[in-house]
């Protein structure tokens, strides 16, 4: 085996040999026409040869004779690919996991309308901070404030970098050096090291825990209130459920308590949504509108979870509180970028136009079983001629992701693939390490491709990649 590997490594041409050979290949002439392109070409050749070496280390099962004859066509194909699509660090991934809000893959996808608005604002000057009427300096927040107020029913709104920043800013503005009361059942940790106790501390506030993990009562909050209390904070337990013998105090009840003692009440809604999920058969979640309506002074949520927009932290609520947030120096450090603002405006306009259901997150969550089955069937058909794998359709479940509806299993159809040689773990790695990474789910001896999160062209690319397996 080692000997075979050594022979294969020796069979690889040197960089100058590849370059000389390319001179004779017509499809490479555009890349050879200009001498200045030579360093890039050389770099790409090195890159492809390195990949070939890695393939040898990772074992290719064909015989040496096959290897030798397949080598040059393979090198040419790979080289054309890297020359035409130079590798950027940030690049496309095929998400076949069925996890709609996949944290590792960029969470929510933007709707094309929102993406177009971003591209248009990116390439031109804009009125980002210009009041066109007066010619004076304006505020970047005006571009989304009215939309947010219309959609949520709040008096005022602003946006920052993400929801973690929103919570930090709220703590720092209203509770610096003071106490914030939170239920022990709501001391949430979200992936990526966002923990409510830590964020409060970072914002300069002191956490006062009340109640127990499963039960917290109105009287628990009330007993903890003293002259140092700055805020009552409700945190949506977005990524877990406490079920059984439980009790939590609703936002509306906290509002009543806050009024009694003159203390503002805030809610971190996490994955805030304009839809309650009932039409999809999900267990009901409070919508952003409901939280605002219950009288909470400020409500914050993410832009790139169920809202289906860009990464952003949105804060809505009472005007006087929003004004204090804007006056905080931290706001400058946490401020939202113009491209994000464009993406958010584009997304919010879709909700305003009654088009919210065509935002990718909601489109994917509401696919019918027929649609999902036909996507899985289409992939199966594209794999039918592949003799290296066994293929079946299976019923399975996809996840919402992003910490939203953590206990919901969305019924789906998957195209399941089993390698005839090698293990599923090897196949998963092989798929992930192609020129476009393909992410799949593993279930026992099968690799599952869930049609829910596939986009145009993905099926063809998965089939193409599997052609090269063993
Ligand atoms: C996701 C989440 C956050 C963090 O939001 P980001 O926009 O990712 O910063 C904060 N609180 C809760 C409850 C969350 O679910």
Q: What is the pLDDT of residue 62?
A: 59
Domain ranges in the chain?
Answer: 2-83, 93-104+363-467, 112-358
- Atom 7, ligand 1: which residue's CA is nearest? 163
According to the model, what pLDDT value does residue 68 have? Answer: 82
Residues in the chain: 470
Atom of ligand 1 nearest to the CA of 167: 10
Q: Decide whether any atom of ligand 1 lies within 6 Å of the 271 Cβ.
A: yes
Distances from the Cα of 310 to the Cα of 154, 168, 345, angstroms: 21, 19, 10
- The answer, yes or no, to whether any atom of ligand 1 lies below 6 A from the CB of 401, is no
Choosing from 160, 192, 195, 270 the residue with most ligand 1 atoms within 8 A of its CB, the one to mutate for a pocket test is 270
Please give the pLDDT value at position 386: 95
Ligand 1 centre distance from Cα of residue 254 (Å): 21
Going from the Cα of 252 to the center of ligand 1, the distance in angstroms, rounded, reads: 22
Å from CA of 278 to ligand 1 middle: 22
162 lines ligand 1 (CB under 6 A): yes
Q: Is 203 in the pocket of ligand 1 (CB under 6 A)?
A: no
The answer to whether the beta carbons of residues 111 and 359 sit under 8 Å apart is: yes
Contact call for residues 190 and 291 (beta carbons, < 8 A) = no
Ligand 1 and 403: CB distance under 6 A: yes
Q: How does pLDDT run along the chain (470 residues), one tens digit per residue? A: 788 888 889 999 999 999 999 989 988 988 888 887 888 889 899 989 988 888 888 765 456 677 888 889 989 988 988 888 766 789 899 999 999 999 999 999 999 999 999 999 999 999 999 999 999 999 999 999 999 999 999 999 999 999 999 999 999 999 999 999 999 999 999 876 789 999 999 999 999 999 999 999 999 999 999 999 999 999 998 788 888 999 999 999 999 999 999 999 999 999 999 999 988 989 888 899 999 999 999 999 999 999 999 999 999 999 999 999 999 999 999 999 999 999 999 999 999 999 999 999 999 999 999 999 999 999 999 999 999 999 999 999 999 998 888 889 999 999 999 999 999 999 999 999 988 999 999 999 999 999 999 999 999 999 999 999 98
**What distance in Å separates the CA atoms of residue 141 and residue 146, rounded to the nearest whole number?**
9
The hierarchical CATH code for the domain 112-358 is 3.40.640.10
Enumerate residues 6+ apart whose C-beta is below 8 A from 168. Answer: 199, 202, 203, 330, 334
The angle subtended at Cα 86 by Cα 117 and Cα 430, nearest 5°, is 105
CB 448 within 8 A of CB 440: yes
Measured from the CA of 164, which atom of ligand 1 is nearest? 9
Whether 236 is in the pocket of ligand 1, judged by its Cβ within 6 Å, is yes
Helix axes of 369-383 and 458-467: crossing angle, nearest 10 degrees: 30
Tell whether ligand 1 has an atom less than 6 A from the beta carbon of residue 313. yes
Residue nearest to atom 3 of ligand 1 (CA): 270
Nearest one of 27, 114, 116, 124 to 76, comparing CA atoms: 27
3-state SS assignment for residue 190: strand
Question: pLDDT at position 34, please?
Answer: 82
The per-residue pLDDT for range 392-402, each reduced to its tens digit, is 999 999 999 98
Q: What is the largest CA-CA distance in the chain?
A: 85
Q: What's the gap in Å between 17 CA and the centre of ligand 1?
A: 54
CA of 206 to the centre of ligand 1 (A): 20
145-178 core/surface letters (b: 16 or more CB in 10 A; e: else): bebbbebbebebbbbbbbbbbbbbbbbbbbbeeb
Whether 188 is in the pocket of ligand 1, judged by its Cβ within 6 Å, is yes
Q: Is the CB of 95 under 6 A from ligand 1?
A: no
As a whole number of angstroms, the distance between CA 363 and CA 456 comes to 14
In ligand 1, the atom with minimum distance to the C-alpha of 188 is: 13
Separation CA 207–CA 229 (nearest Å): 10
C-alpha to C-alpha distance for 118 and 120, rounded to whole angstroms: 5
Cβ atoms 463, 382 nearer than 8 A: yes
Q: Does domain 93-104+363-467 have CATH number 3.30.930.10?
A: no
Q: What's the rounded Cα separation, in Å, for the pair 41 and 280?
A: 52
C-beta neighbour count of 354 within 10 angstroms: 8
CA 308 to ligand 1 center in whole angstroms:
14
Rg of the Cα trace of the chain? 27
Distance between CA atoms of 164 and 249, rounded to whole angstroms? 23
Residue nearest to atom 14 of ligand 1 (CA): 270
Dihedral-angle region of residue 442 (phi above 0 means left; psi in -120 to 50 means alpha; beta otherwise) = beta
Q: What is the pTM of this model?
A: 0.84
Domains 93-104+363-467 and 112-358 share a fold: no
Which amino acid residue places its CA nearest to atom 5 of ligand 1? Answer: 163
Distance 302 CA to ligand 1 centre (A): 6
137 DSSP 8-state letter: B
So what's the pLDDT on residue 371? 97
Q: How far is the CA of 268 from the centre of ligand 1 (A)?
A: 8
Which pLDDT does position 66 carry in this prediction? 79
* Non-local CB neighbours of 226 within 8 Å, separated by 6+ positions: 179
């Amino acid at each position: 085996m080692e000997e075979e590997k050594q022979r294969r490594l020796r069979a690889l041409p040197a960089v100058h040999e590849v370059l000389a050979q390319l001179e004779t290949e017509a499809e490479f002439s555009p890349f050879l026409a200009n001498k200045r392109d030579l360093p890039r070409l050389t770099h790409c050749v090195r890159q492809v040869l390195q990949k070939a070496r890695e393939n040898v280390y990772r074992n290719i099962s064909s015989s040496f004779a096959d290897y030798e004859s397949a080598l040059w066509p393979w090198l040419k194909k790979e080289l054309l690919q890297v020359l035409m699509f130079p590798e950027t660090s940030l690049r496309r991934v095929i998400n076949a996991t069925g996890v709609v809000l996949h944290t590792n893959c960029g969470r929510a996808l933007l709707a094309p309308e929102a993406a177009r608005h971003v591209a248009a604002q990116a390439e031109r000057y804009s009125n980002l901070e210009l009041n066109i009427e007066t010619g004076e300096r304006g505020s970047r927040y005006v571009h989304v404030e009215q939309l947010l107020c219309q959609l949520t029913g709040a008096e005022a709104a602003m946006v920052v970098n993400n929801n973690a920043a929103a919570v930090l800013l709220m703590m720092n503005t209203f509770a610096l050096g003071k106490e914030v009361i939170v239920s022990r059942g709501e001391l949430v940790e979200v992936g990526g090291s966002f923990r409510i106790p830590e964020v409060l501390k970072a914002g300069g506030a002191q956490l006062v825990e009340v109640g127990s993990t499963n039960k917290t009562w109105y009287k628990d909050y009330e007993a903890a209130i003293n002259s140092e209390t700055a805020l009552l904070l409700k945190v949506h337990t977005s990524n877990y459920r406490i079920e059984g013998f439980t009790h939590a105090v609703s936002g509306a009840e906290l509002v009543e308590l806050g009024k009694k003692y003159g203390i503002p009440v805030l809610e971190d809604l996490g994955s805030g949504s304009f839809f309650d999920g009932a039409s999809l058969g999900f267990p009901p979640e409070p919508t952003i509108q409901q939280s605002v309506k219950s009288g909470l002074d400020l409500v914050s949520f993410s832009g790139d979870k169920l809202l289906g927009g860009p990464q952003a932290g949105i804060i809505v609520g009472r005007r006087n509180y929003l004004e204090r947030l804007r006056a905080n120096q931290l706001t400058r450090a946490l401020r939202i970028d113009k491209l994000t603002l464009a993406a958010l405006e584009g997304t919010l306009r879709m909700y305003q136009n009654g088009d919210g259901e065509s935002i990718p997150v909601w489109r994917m969550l509401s696919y019918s079983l027929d649609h999902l089955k036909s996507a899985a069937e289409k992939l199966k058909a594209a794999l039918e001629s592949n003799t290296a794998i066994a293929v079946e359709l299976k019923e399975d479940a996809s996840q919402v992701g992003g910490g939203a509806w953590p206990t919901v299993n969305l019924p789906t159809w998957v195209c399941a693939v089993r390698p005839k040689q090698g293990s599923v773990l090897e196949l998963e790695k092989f798929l992930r390490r192609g020129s476009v990474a393909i992410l799949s789910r593993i279930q026992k001896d099968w690799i599952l491709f869930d049609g829910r999160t596939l986009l145009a062209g993905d099926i063809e690319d998965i089939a193409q990649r599997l052609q090269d397996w063993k």
